Structure 1
Amino acid sequence: MESKEIISDEESEALREADAEVTAADTEARAPEGQVRDLHPDHWERIFADRVPALESIGERMVSLLKTTAREFFRRSVEVSSVPSRTHRWGAFARKLPVPTSLNVLEISPLRLKGVACLDPEFVFALVDVFFGGNGKDSPSLDNSSFTPMETRLVRKFVERVALDMQEAWRPFMDLTFTLGTSETNPIFASVAAGSESVSVSGYKFELDDKEFHLQTVLPTRLVEPIRFLRDAGQADDNQAETQRWRAQLREDVQEATLGLRAVLAETRINLRELTDAKPGDVIPLEIPPTMKMYAGNQPVLEGSFGVSKGKNAVRVHKLLDREALGEKYGRTH
């Protein structure tokens, strides 16, 4: 399916105008007194589109990093500014993308998630124009619905640098690796979520003289939610330190827990016929080994020999079978 077959610019504009008219009509309509007003189906999307301080901090770091990256590719100083992140439904966002748009899938490790770096066609043309000695100011030809192999190659080199910048910008909050995957022009093949699922979209504006180019990064909300309520990178470090303190305390307290031990004197094997034919008085021969195992649940923990101590059956411990289970992994000695 060609990108143009998804939805044209005119159809997209008509849908937005129709939606705006419906929204205005709903706003003017008031529910009668004593009755409940119907909730607009897009209301939940506006609720999700709140500020995420951590993303703002990441955006500021990205602006600084992207200035260096843009200077290398455009061979001059480029002014870069961030656009506040917003939450959209993936299907609605994909339908509003211009045709063609360079959609570059980003593999996010170790979370096994995917994101997308979107470059508008003017951005792609400017990269190619500067690469071949131009100034990036000429207007591109948008007759084609796809990019040439040369354009795709240059875009991928640029996005690879952007992925490294994202990795560095996210480092104070989460240790992630962004790896460039496939490059597409059809949102169907670069989907990072179901059409109704929400995604977080962050934008960056590149100003080259009197021209503006736009880069958008689309990330799943599952990646954003863990840092939604963090104010800054320092808070992430504080949380990590607090986690370490709790882990150390829990580790110490667990050592004082009580558990039951059972000792197995001997084991043997018989077949099912012998078991079903057994009757009181039958003798099952056993070989008593010199040592025996003691279990905590089903986990063997000690090995020793059976005997009597102070008039009671006892086991003399010879060795520990699982030192980690008994706490020696954490510095506890026995």
Structure 2
Amino acid sequence: MTATDLQEQGQEALAAAAEAATKAPERVLNQDEIDSLLGFELDGDSTPERHGIDAIVNSALVSYERLPMLEIVFDRLVRLMTVSLRNFTSDNVEVSLDNVSSIRFGDYLNSIPLPAILAVFRAKQWDNYGMFTVDSNLIYSIVDVLLGGRRGTAAMRIEGRPYTTIELNLVQRMIEVVLQDVQSAFEPLSPVTLELDRMETNPRFAAIARPANAAILVKLRVDMEDRGGRIELLLPYATLEPIRELLLQMFMGEKFGRDTIWESHLATELWATKVPLEAVLDEQQLSLREVMDFRVGQTLMLNSGPEGAIDLRCGGVRLGKGKMGRVGNHVAVRVEQAIKNARRAVLAAAPDAAAPSVPLELHAPAVKPGGAGK
């Protein structure tokens, strides 16, 4: 065998190896990898981070975590509901916050487990609507507790029939109690009046926003010993838009309302603030033609004489009256009429503060021989 034959055989072997490498079996995704890619690996109750295509589709949603004050409002709501539902049912009630998430309104309507009762309420100051969803477990538990059902037995559930008038009225009373708690929870942040608008059993009749609109979903768990269920609060972002600036605030500490430290600091700075005080000799109403005819050196006759009263004003507000005179080389104004109303209001706001010093910005008038001021 010659060297040429050996070279040809080596080239054929290399070509065969390259062809075998290109014909390697393709990688096939299994079902778990496909679900992870599409974002369908999570069940409906858990709310971890989204993945895959589902995360891209829902990237336009505004996360409730960007509104820090909502966490404080919902924690306050849980405490208020625990007390009010205990008084309402005369039973041991425990309310817990399951989770808070952002969701599209149309997706939520499609995910409501039926049968359920939907309560639509209106926020008057915000001029928009919200919605409560009460699941069947909580409905039958409330009916059983309010009508004297025995403890230790599961609430009776009769599927396949509409809710009776008694059941609707009892759930409506519970919703009214919860509405008062939501109103009280938002009150330290922004006072609002919540009114129950209507009760629905069909989600299509409870459309309070467009399907693509974003909303905040709050899932609350109500436990009454061995009974209970879930109540969900849905607030569209359009409803919270009037108080969005307030919800963006960072919450520090455990106190709502007034801050005495900042109040005292603000009062101190206000008393040290300098404001201009104007001494008005006289005011006249002239036509635009007369004003346009002003010439340099022209004399304007005033209606106020040397002993006339002068108005003292600050920012266009009249504070009192005085008389003009001279102290040394300076033109001065002596206050003749006490500033009673303004001083009483200031003393009521800060009775322990010292009297403020107000600088006088006065201009000496040029007096001509005829006694007229210019």
TM class, shorter-length: 0.5 to 0.7
Structure 2 CA distance, aligned partners of 1:172 and 1:277? 60
Residue of structure 1 in register with 2:103 after alignment: 89
Structure 1 residues 293 and 108: alpha-carbon distance in aligned structure 2, compared to 1, 3 A threshold = same
Q: Which residue in 2 is equivalent to 1:217? A: 233
| 1:293 counterpart (303, 306, 311) | 311
Give yes or no for the alignment of 1:205 onto 2:219: no
Identity over aligned pairs, percent: 16
Within 5 Å, give how 1:264-283 maps onto structure 2.
264-277=280-293, 279=295
Cα distance in 1 for partners of 2:223, 2:147 equals: 20
Aligned-partner residue type, residue 36 of structure 2? A
Distance 1:66 1:190, change over 3 A: farther
- Shift of residue 66, structure 1, vs aligned partner: 5.7
Among 240, 262, 265, which residue is 1:249 paired with?
265
How many Å apart are 1:196 and its aligned residue?
Answer: 2.8
Tell me which structure has the larger Cα radius of gyration. Answer: 2
Q: What amino acid maps onto 1:293 in structure 2?
A: D
**Alignment partner of 1:303 out of 317, 321, 324:** 321
CA contact (8 A) 1:69 1:161 kept: no
For 1:262 and 1:49, the matched residues in 2 are separated by 51
C-alpha offsets along residues 232-261 of structure 1, whole Å, 9 cap, x if unaligned? xxx232x756x3212211221232222333
Q: 1:180 to 1:78 in 2, by over 3 A?
A: farther
- Decide which of 157, 172, 177 is 2:173's aligned counterpart: 157
Q: 1:262 aligns with which of 278, 282, 295?
A: 278
CA distance in 2, matches of 1:266, 1:313: 17
After the TM superposition, which residues 19-30 of structure 1 pair with which residues of structure 2 at under 5 Å, given as runs?
A: 24-26=36-38
Distance 1:182 1:27 in 2: 37
CA distance in 2, matches of 1:220, 1:229: 21
Indicate if the aligned counterparts of 2:73 and 2:186 stay in contact, CA closer than 8 A: no
Distance 1:148 1:287, change over 3 A: farther
**CA–CA distance in 2 between the matches of 1:245 and 1:114?**
37
CA–CA distance in 2 between the matches of 1:153 and 1:213? 18
Per the TM alignment, residue 184 of structure 1 is displaced from its structure 2 partner at its CA by 3.1
Q: 1:227 to 1:282 in 2, by over 3 A?
A: closer
Distance 1:228 1:271 in 2: 52
SS for the counterpart of 1:323 is helix
| Alignment partner of 1:330 is 2:346 | no
The answer to whether the 8 Å contact 2:138/2:230 transfers is yes
Give the aligned partner of residue 42 of structure 1: 58
Amino acid at match of 2:155: K
Q: Which consecutive unaligned segments of at least 5 residues does structure 2 have? A: 1-31, 41-51, 357-374
Distance in 1 of aligned mates of 2:147 and 2:175:
19
Could you tell me how far apart the structure 2 residues matched to 1:278 and 1:178 are?
Answer: 59
Report the CA distance between 1:127 and its aligned residue.
4.3
Measured after TM superposition, the shift of residue 106 of structure 1 is: 4.4
Number of positions where the alignment pairs a residue of Structure 1 with one of Structure 2: 294
Deviation at 1:109, TM superposition (A): 7.8
The TM-score normalised by the length of structure 2 is 0.59
- Distance (whole Å) between structure 1 residues aligned to residue 326 and residue 62 of structure 2: 74
Q: In the superposition, relative to structure 1, how do residues 159 and 257 fare at CA in structure 2: closer, same or farther (>3 Å)?
A: same
Equivalent of 1:98 in 113, 121, 142: 113
CA offsets 1:251-291 (integer angstroms, 9 cap, x no match): 21232222333221111223334444555676554311721
Q: How far does residue 207 in structure 1 lie from its aligned partner after superposition?
A: 5.2
